[in-house]
């Protein structure tokens, strides 16, 4: 059996996209959290997935059938990633001091590298996390360089120089 530290170190070397997943509750309050497990799952039907810790406050607002937005952060949005990664008490507090709009009824972070929205189809048990499968209903990409996370630091994608 692999020990926790070895597994954590292994996975820190895997580059992951940095996103802020958002939703709005029935009382109109925005909720959001930084998520680095966002991935494409299927083209037909269009599905994406991401995982949330079982203790995540956001998870309680994302049941099957609920709408969800995914802001794919740009390389210039490191501070937003840190802001939404912190645990805070009270609904909507992560949005204090943050520029955001409502798009398709969901909190949207302008100037992100991409945006998608859809409905949670199902939850899949993943140990201490829950994998959420989302059917995509809306998507937009931009030319903005994406923010990625690896070895516990933020970065972005760049082309390799050609071998001579």
Q: Give pLDDT, residue 90.
A: 65
97-125 residues labelled b (16+ CB within 10 A) or e (exposed): eeebeebeebbbbeebbbbbbbebbeeee
Mean pLDDT, residues 100-120 taken together: 97
pLDDT for the residue numbered 129: 97
What mean pLDDT comes out for the span 13-21? 97
Model-level pTM?
A: 0.93
């Amino acid at each position: 059996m692999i020990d926790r530290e070895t597994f954590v170190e292994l996975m820190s070397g895997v580059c992951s996209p940095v996103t802020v997943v958002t939703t709005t509750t029935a009382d109109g309050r925005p909720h959001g959290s930084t998520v680095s497990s966002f991935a494409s799952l299927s083209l037909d039907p269009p599905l994406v997935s991401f995982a949330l810790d079982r203790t995540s406050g956001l998870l309680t607002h994302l049941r099957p059938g609920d709408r969800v937005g995914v802001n794919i952060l740009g390389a210039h949005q490191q501070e937003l990633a840190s802001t939404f990664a912190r645990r805070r008490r009270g609904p909507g507090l992560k949005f204090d001091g943050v520029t955001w709009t409502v798009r398709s009824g969901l909190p949207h972070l302008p100037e992100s590298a991409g945006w998608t929205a859809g409905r949670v189809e199902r939850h899949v048990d993943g140990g201490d996390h829950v994998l959420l499968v989302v059917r995509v209903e809306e998507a937009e990409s931009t030319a903005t360089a994406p923010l990625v996370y690896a070895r516990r630091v933020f970065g972005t994608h760049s082309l390799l120089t050609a071998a001579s």
